[in-house]
Structure 1
Amino acid sequence: MEDQKQKKPRILCLHGFRTSGEILKKLISRWPETITEKLDLVFLDGLFPAQGKSDVEGIYDPPYYEWFQANKDYTEYSNFEECVAYIEDYMLKNGPFDGFLGFSQGAMIEAALPGMQAQGVALGKVNKIKFLIIISGGKFGGKMFGMPKLASNAFSEPIECPSIHFIDDKSLETMLGFIDKIQRMTFRG
């Protein structure tokens, strides 16, 4: 039997607003090899083609995608349910996955997924999410932002799901310890 410590955690990676899985892959490739060699990273493109100009035009080649859309003040969301169904369908066809890595808009989605899964409103057909890697993300709700209906109770109860939150480059220093922790978990079970 393969030693559990030798397994690489399989991670579904969700890119930021109006970018792509390929762009996130290029950004993650800048991380030290001591980190990336311990992870099995799978990069997914958002369901919807970008509905406006991307902030990375001229830096990275198109195509660009979005996970969902929101109005200017982030009080109303559209296509969020379709986005979550798309992620679950991808996981069913290409999984299993142990956790998520998300950047910006992708991080907002992944932060809500464990709560939605625990409540039985999303990801009911896939294994329990074991951890999150959140890069420059936030959460739905709060004083300034609304919340998609499907995620309305995602943060109402504490969820036992280890996570690491990247705010700056110094966060990479703690990543190795986090990877060691998640490698000790029982995967794909």
Structure 2
Amino acid sequence: MKRIVIGVLALFIIFGNLRADEGMWLPLLVGKQKMKEMKASGFKLKAEDIYSINHNSLKDAIVQFGGGCTGEVISDEGLIITNHHCGYRQIQEHSSLEHNYLEDGFWAMSKREELSNPNLSVKFLVRMEDVTEKILGGITMETPEEERGKLIIARSAATTKLAIEGTNFIAEVKPLFYGNQYFLSLLSDKKIPVETLVE
């Protein structure tokens, strides 16, 4: 876990000192897409340290937060960070006229002061796979939109069913990059409660 935390911090440190290189960089693809540039900028980890199916990597610190947001574990005690809007409902539920956490924020100075969120949980990413060819293979610009939609739904269902066969995982196929690529995510089937909230 310490190696994962150090790796996450290294990414923040390295990219915090560079020009904005905006975009969405998936752990699965970063070795192909960005590793050369990252190495040239002084990045010390290998692509396998970011994403590896068989070994500990940064991938193991990525969670599906609540209903589908991405989060990252950044401590050995399970501290998770995510985007503000992902916890908006929980922040709103804890807010009152006396304590407007939506406007003023909240910081727990000790574990005792943390706020409970019994209906909020995370699932850990097990692996990702590019399944674009399985989903879009044979579909062309001439394929009618309705037929295209039905094919994608049917193929996504078949891909997820096959992926979880004989496992205890949950599978999802999601389109990225405006529907030009499809990725299968395997997630742990156990929902791990998020009992605290720090904003």
| TM interval, short-chain normalised | under 0.3
Q: Calculate the TM-score normalised by the size of structure 2.
A: 0.24
Look at both structures and tell me which one has the larger radius of gyration over its CA atoms: 2
TM-score of the pair, normalised by structure 1: 0.24
